[in-house]
Amino acid sequence: MLARLDQDLAPLRFSVDREGALLRAQAEEDLPEDLGARVSALVEEMGFIAVELADKPPAIPRWFGFAAVDELSQEEASVLAERWIEELEAEDVIAEPRRVIETLQAVLLDTFRSAARTGMVDTPHIDETALLVVLDGSEAEAVKRWLERKLIGPFLGEPDPEGRTRDDE
């Protein structure tokens, strides 16, 4: 999205906050008066909701432009992988789950990079070969199944975290 906005509305440069909820436009010169309407139309054309802030925007410590998207993806993959290691340990999926931290980071980073390129979040590819480097077959299967549940959702007939079962409709 940032690349398209930068391209279609040059010489403006766009960036987002860490969560990707706020979009900022910057220019070397004064911004055109119709900029808000043009940006909103383009953002909505890409399938997002666009609302101009009526008040002064909140203080954002760091903005991420197109060039920083990969850096942000790497940071987020590391943070999320650490959380998931804790969950794997708490749920006793395998002994010593820290062994799969690099594989988790790689899966997440690949997914985030793909989403940044395409604007779509696809089903992540879980590299079973990478899991088998640090786990035995049954552990790799347990982690793969746990990741699929985490990334895709419960399988048909399995309960979700609230105990509801997904039925074939």
- DSSP, res 25: E
Strands (DSSP E) found in 33-122: 64-65
Check: pTM over 0.85? Answer yes or no: no
**Domain ranges for the chain:** 2-62, 68-152
C-alpha gyration radius of the chain = 20
Give tens-digit pLDDT for 23-49: 787 777 877 778 778 888 888 887 777
Give tens-digit pLDDT for 50-100: 777 777 777 888 887 887 878 888 988 999 999 999 999 999 999 999 999
Give the residue, 3 or 132, on which the prediction is more confident.
Answer: 132
Among 3-7, 56-60, 98-102, 158-162, the range with the most confident prediction by mean pLDDT is 98-102
Three-class SS state of 160 = coil
Plot region of 47 (φ>0 → left; ψ -120 to 50 → alpha; else → beta): left
